[in-house]
Amino acid sequence: MASDASLPSSLADPRGKWMSLKNLGRQGVGRLGWWGLLAPAMGLYALVFFMPLGVLVGESVHPSGAPQLSLANYAAFFTDGVTFSIFARTVRLAFFVTLTCLVFGYPLALFMRRAGPVLRLVALTIVVSPLLTSVIVRNVAWLLVLGREGMVNTLLRQAGLIDAPLPLLYNTFGVVVGVTHVYLAFLVLPVFSSLLAIDPSVEQAASSLGASRFTVFRKVTVPLSLPGVIAGSTLVFVLTMGVYLTPVIMGGSFVTTLPMVMTDLVRTQFDWSRAAAFAIVLLAFIAIVMVASSRAERRIERMRGEL
């Protein structure tokens, strides 16, 4: 125990050590270290995201063939007569997919909240499994299910329910099915976690005060799960805005999305400058959606605080 005496007093005395660290923090060195933790991630982002983004912006204002800066590519987005309407249809598609995900995903998340651990795990595995499959394999499997000679049409015809095959593929319906299948997980997971966060005693309190089960659901459960719903819907919406392969395969290219227009600009028209401009517009739109969504979420949090 003699060695104790040689230690600096601050280390020997736990309270002294605490004090000295606190002082460091006050002097700002600790805070600097704290922010320093961000450095690796920021460095990576600067390299793989912000720098290429800068290049993209630079490229977009240099239309091929024009010597000076020009916004012609951005103007073309709105005025070339096709691109804006394709963009509008992409938004519509994203809206359909989000709605479908909500209709299927919300009840599923409710079920998972009530279910025991085993059932919960099974449901979770099924929901997440499409994310583990290759997009091509998934889509081609759907072709076999939804095709004119596919499983669904064959079954319905044998059951005598239809005479002519239903058009389930190569249209918006087919794309919505294919995209919903994989993005459902992005809705279910946030909704599920926000449902889990609801204190059951709040619902019990409501029903003990005479609310019917439906009223409890409508006035307590749904409002409390809204942050998850908003987060999940935003994710699905934003992801669908960038969808490419599924409309190509399951939409038969008749459903054109903005990413398909950009791919063609790059691959067959070699107009990288215009593709860059369209990408920036899409990115800006997505940023607006994200900001609106996080504002809505914050607003709900505030309302809850007032309650």
Partner 1 sequence: MSCKMNMSRRTALKTFGVAAAGALAAPSVITRSLAAGETLVVYNFDGLLGKVIKDHWIDPFSQKTGVKVEVLTMQGSSPPMAKIKAQVDAGRPDADVIPMQMTDYVFGVRNNLFQTIDAKDMPEYANLYPDYITPYGPKLVLWSYGLAYNTDKIKTAPTAWADLWDPQYKGKAALNEALFDQALQMANLVAKGKPLPVDDATFAALTKLRPNLATLWTTGAQAEQLLRTGEVWIMPVWNGRVYPLKDQGVPIDFVSPKEGFFTRADPFCIPRGAKNPELAKAFINFSCTTTPQQALAQGLFYASPNQKVVYPPEIAKRVVVSTREELARAVPEDFEVIVDNLPDWRRRWDAWKQS
- Residues 64-67: contacts with CB under 8 Å, at least 24 apart: 64/271, 64/272, 64/273, 64/274
Interior angle at CA 239, CA 129 and CA 108, nearest 5: 45
Nearest distance from residue 152's CB to partner 1, in Å?
A: 14
Nearest distance from residue 58's CB to partner 1, in Å?
A: 14
User: How far is Cα 286 from Cα 4, in angstroms, rounded to an integer?
Assistant: 61
151 binds partner 1 (CB under 8 A): no
CB closer to partner 1, 203 vs 271: 271
135 binds partner 1 (CB under 8 A): no
268 binds partner 1 (CB under 8 A): yes
Residues 6+ positions from 147 with CB-CB distance below 8 Å: 153, 168, 169
249 binds partner 1 (CB under 8 A): yes
Which helix H or strand E contains 70, and what residues bound it?
A: none
User: How far is Cα 59 from Cα 280, in angstroms, rounded to an integer?
Assistant: 11
**Member of 149, 163, 199, 306 binding partner 1 (CB under 8 A):** 149
CB closer to partner 1, 13 vs 80: 80
**Member of 19, 48, 140, 145 binding partner 1 (CB under 8 A):** 140
Number of other residues whose CB lies within 10 A of the CB of residue 250? 27
CA 32 to chain CA centroid, nearest Å: 33
Question: DSSP string covering 74-92, please?
Answer: HHHHHHSSSHHHHHHHHHH
Site string for partner 1, 54-93 (x = CB under 8 A): --------------------------xxx--xx--x----
Residues 6+ positions from 157 with CB-CB distance below 8 Å: 163, 165
248 binds partner 1 (CB under 8 A): yes
269 binds partner 1 (CB under 8 A): yes
CB closer to partner 1, 64 vs 204: 64
243 binds partner 1 (CB under 8 A): no
Nearest distance from residue 68's CB to partner 1, in Å?
A: 21
Residues 6+ positions from 264 with CB-CB distance below 8 Å: none
Nearest distance from residue 131's CB to partner 1, in Å?
A: 23
Nearest distance from residue 155's CB to partner 1, in Å?
A: 16
CB closer to partner 1, 21 vs 82: 82
